[in-house]
Amino acid sequence: MASRLSGSRGAAIVAADGLGPMHFYRGTAAGLIFLAASCGSDIALAQSANGPDKSQYTLFDPVPDNLMRDFNTDRPPKANVPYTVDAGHFQYESDIANFADQWTGAAPGWTLLVPNPTLKAGLTSNVDLEVNMAPIVGVRTPNAATGAYSTMWGVGDLYVRGKVNIWGNDGGSSAGALIPYIKAPTAPPGIGNGATEGGVIAPFAFNLPNNFTLLFNTEIDALKDNVDDGRHANFVNLVTLGHPVMKDVTLYLELWTDYNNDPTQRTTQASFDTAIAWLVRPNLQLDFGADIGLTSATPNIQVFAGVSQRF
């Protein structure tokens, strides 16, 4: 199963004027990360019925290679998978490049991330820690009044999240998880909005007949208002269908929506996403894809290529 980090296509960059690459983890939930890690051992006991009991393994006592679960990534679609990195193992998932084309009226703008890595570490049998920040971000925005363009380059915001698998980590016909996350405002003005934000994602996976896989994600974020320091809710939902098209190659089709309840300008984004993942080796994946915007507030097209690897 594979999927792209909101899913690891990576971090959401929010430009001051609303342009920017759509995503990673928008949100405020450091306390939830601590709570999830604290209850991780209890949840792991319930999971052992679906596979080997790996509750004794930790970051400093890794799961043996012969007991590791299949390689799972939060890319290439936007969906997050509910599966965690095995305890004591590490994983990176990154865009090699991610380009989003956005038009405002008759004026084009764009966002570029090169690269966009997410680093993961398995803490327990059902909890991992994930960190994301794009080192190079470019944002080109038009001035509607003058027609002039401005282009900014800098680092992206820092996103930290914890994924807690609730069931199905090591087997079964379905799986579910919670992913609380927080964003630290490390991006300069014009690339980021200078605010600490956070939220929580709930991913669910279902195995269907004929090797189809269905993913649902629902997400709620607490985002800064555009005109003051207040906070408002942002809601993300998606459904993703995956199916192998040949040995070690999987095709994904996805419908994604984002409703931003900012009191001064409520917006709805939606996109139809396609992606291909190729499992080159058991712990190495390459991918590419394109997302097509379905509303005026959504980037017209977002194209990307990425790589993921587990150690």
Tens of pLDDT, residue by residue, the chain (311 residues): 433 334 445 433 333 333 333 333 333 333 444 444 444 444 443 444 567 889 999 999 999 999 999 999 999 999 999 999 999 999 999 999 999 998 755 567 899 999 999 999 999 999 999 999 999 999 998 876 777 788 999 999 999 999 999 999 998 999 999 999 999 999 999 899 999 999 999 999 999 999 999 999 999 999 999 999 899 999 999 999 999 999 999 999 999 999 999 999 999 999 999 999 999 999 999 999 999 999 989 999 999 999 999 99
Q: Which amino acid is at 230?
A: G
For residues 8 and 85, the answer to whether their CB atoms sit within 8 Å is: no
Q: Is residue 11 part of a domain?
A: no
118: helix, coil or strand? Answer: strand
42: helix, coil or strand? Answer: helix
Q: Is residue 4 part of a domain?
A: no
Q: Which two tokens stand for residue 134?
A: 């794009």
**Domain total of the chain:** 1
CATH number at residue 175: 2.40.160.40
Residue spans of beta strands (DSSP E) within the chain: 90-104, 107-113, 116-122, 127-132, 137-142, 149-154, 158-167, 174-184, 197-207, 213-224, 231-246, 249-260, 267-281, 284-293, 301-310
Q: Is residue 3 part of a domain?
A: no
Q: Is residue 169 part of a domain?
A: yes
Strand 137-142 and strand 149-154: the pairing is antiparallel
User: Cα separations (Å) of 86 from 90, 91, 127?
Assistant: 8, 10, 8
- For 86, the domain range is 30-310
Quote the CA–CA distance of 79 and 202 in Å, as a whole number: 10
Q: Is residue 280 part of a domain?
A: yes
Q: CA nearest 237: which of 257, 259, 223?
A: 257
